[in-house]
Every structure is written in structure tokens, then in C-alpha cells.
Amino acid sequence: MIIETTGLTGLKSDLAHLDEVTTELGFVRWQWEYTRATYDFKMEDKAGKEVYFLRVNARVESGKLESPYAILFLEEAYIGRETFPHGLDYNSPVPDSFMNISKQKLEQLKQALAD
């Protein structure tokens, strides 16, 4: 599920700052390649034993991703339920509690990048 109106789409940052800010907020940079990085925030429903991930994609505008000085811009954020053995289901309903956490994290990310 795409989370719209986050205010993140198009924000820019160098890789070093983006990595620092996202790490402080509990995100992990999992997938990355030469022009794209994916930042994931894991949320667990221990009662229902389900795992959801809030994901934010970033693309390189200039430089190379390996360089801390590379400039990246953020794309849309989305959330999905983890599926076995791997992958995310983006069409599953998302519990309100996880949507609220996701919106808070995205707002914190937006504020940290705006400073």
C-alpha cells in the first residue's frame, strides 16, 4: 500500500546524512544497487505473528551510491506484510496501529531531512 501525502517525495539528501537519519529512526538500508537504495522499518505484531515493513525508496540524482556525497531523492513510501519465504504483500490490509506508527516515522524522517 502506497502511503500518499507524506511530503517526502522529492526531498533530497546526501547518502551519509540519509543513512544517519534513517538509522536513528530505526530504519535499515537493505536493498541497494548502483542507483537505488531501500530503507525499511520493521514492525511486528507479536499476537498475530505478522511482520510489516514500512519502506522508503531513494534514487541517486548525482554521484555513485557507494559515495557518502552522492545526492539521493526520496520516492513514495509504502507498507507491506511480510510473506514466506520472502517478499512483501502490498495488498494486505494494514492494522491501524502500524499505519499510525508508519505515519509518525515518516513525519520524523521529513522533519529530520528538513533541518
Q: Would you state the pLDDT for residue 47?
A: 81
Q: Would you state the pLDDT for residue 37?
A: 93
Q: Would you state the pLDDT for residue 111?
A: 95
Structural domains of the chain, ranges and CATH numbers in brackets: 11-113 (3.30.310.100)
- Quick one: CA dihedral 109, 113, 29, 9, positive or negative? positive
What's the mean pLDDT when you consider all of the chain? Answer: 92
Give residue-wise pLDDT tens across range 1-54: 889 888 899 999 999 999 999 999 999 998 778 889 999 999 998 887 899 999
Number of neighbouring beta carbons within 10 Å of residue 42:
13
Residues of the chain above pLDDT 70, percent: 100
Give residue-wise pLDDT tens across range 83-110: 987 788 999 899 999 999 999 999 999 9
